[in-house]
Structure 1
Amino acid sequence: MTAAQQPEQPAESLRDLAQQEAVLKLLAERVAAAQKDVKKRVQAALDTAEKRDGTERVGAYLPTGEQVATISLRKGETGPVVTDEEALAQWVRKMWPDEEWTETHVVRRVKPWKLAELLGELEAAGVAKLVDKATGEVLDVPGVTIKPTRARTHAITWRPAGRNATADAWRTGALAGQLAAITAGGEK
């Protein structure tokens, strides 16, 4: 059979494609909003459970009782953050006047490599203080504050067959009650 004799494949309907795109866009928007909301509520519940009884993880189960994932608390991190770059640059220049660790523009700034080194030392110490190696004096480092650098959050760890089991439960309607709220609601 030649190419001219091949039966013509039906082209996808532009109307059907447009409908599919519109439906998927709406679903993606609703899923994103629902995920943001439930993530916030899970985080609050995990924070409360950890304070109350030390709980740091919880299983995610399908209606059948099959565990598909574990949700685990991740602690936030605290470290040095430059809050006043000019004050820090003036201090670095005063501490090491013979070194070229700052640059003068309109304002004095610590060179990025030196800033990373200095913040690393402060992070290791856990305070915005540095010990002068020559005198042993403990010095406050102006323009730097130790504060949270990453918020507490949580992560989902899927069990090996968890994703497929969840997809099957969705496909078969076992999650219809949980998913109904995502598609409910009016125009935004």
Structure 2
Amino acid sequence: MSAEQATAPADEQPVESLRDLAIEEAALDLLAARVAAAKKDVRARTQAALDTAAKRDGVERIVATLPTGQQVATISLRKGETGPVVTDEEALARWVRRTWPDQEWTETRIVRTVRPWKLAELVAEMEAAGAAKVVDKATGEVHDVPGVVIKPTRARTHALTWRKGGKDATAEAWRTGALAHQLAAITAGGDDK
């Protein structure tokens, strides 16, 4: 910006073309939608490939490398988590009431429920044990807990970690067309709704 433009009154400063702004916003909206869809698709395909490679070869990470050979990022497998999940609150509440009838750990409404603080305590104990079992601290008896199963609570996924300079190098490769093959789906024609 020149010194004249900086001191000019607001009504004399150059105004961006409303038409230019409109097409820029429309193009970026379309690009954002296509990038989001492409990212969702490639994450699913990457996860499936990582799961297969981990099972077959023990692979837990892969390096993202540009066509020039420059390593720009690392994609690492993150294991899912397994833990207790209450599947039948009513059965669980009936069991808690039968097992500890003198305690006020349940409430009777239309159906019996376990008070949230006690449920959290029981779930934590089952999570630590890795089984839908609880030990009665007074008697030492081990109880199978109805209405609870141990199952995946967080899906297995992966994370992308950029290397120093990796974002700039990837942007430059995109700008120069070196990633045209990988990004073709984003700019290809298609049925947009």
TM over 0.5: yes
Query: What is the alpha-carbon distance in structure 1 between the residues aligned to residue 80 and residue 52 of structure 2?
Result: 15
Runs of 4+ in 1 over 6 A off after TM superposition: none
Q: Show CA shifts across 1:147-173 (max 9, x none).
A: 000111111011121112112222232
Query: What is the alpha-carbon distance in structure 2 between the residues aligned to residue 141 and residue 167 of structure 1?
Result: 54
What is the aligned-residue RMSD (CA, Å)?
1.9
13-22 vs 23-32, greater mean Cα deviation: 13-22
1:87 to 88, 91, 96: 91
Match of 2:17 in 1: 13
Alignment of 1:18-37 (within 5 A): 18-37=22-41
Aligned length: 187
TM-score (norm 2): 0.90
Q: Report percent identity of matched pairs.
A: 76
Query: 3-state SS of the aligned residue for 1:69?
Result: strand
Q: Show CA shifts across 1:19-75 (max 9, x none).
A: 111111111111111111111111111111111110110000111111011001111
1:113 to 101, 110, 117: 117
Query: 3-state SS of the aligned residue for 1:44?
Result: helix
Match of 1:180 in 2: 184
Query: 3-state SS of the aligned residue for 2:12?
Result: coil
Query: What is the alpha-carbon distance in structure 1 between the residues aligned to residue 163 and residue 175 of structure 2?
Result: 19
Alignment of 1:35-184 (within 5 A): 35-184=39-188
Amino acid at match of 1:99: Q
Please state how far the C-alpha of 1:5 moved relative to its aligned partner. 6.2
TM-score (norm 1): 0.92
The gaps in structure 1 that reach 5 residues or longer are: none
Amino acid at match of 1:182: I
The gaps in structure 2 that reach 5 residues or longer are: none
1:4–1:38 distance in 2 versus 1, CA, 3 Å = closer
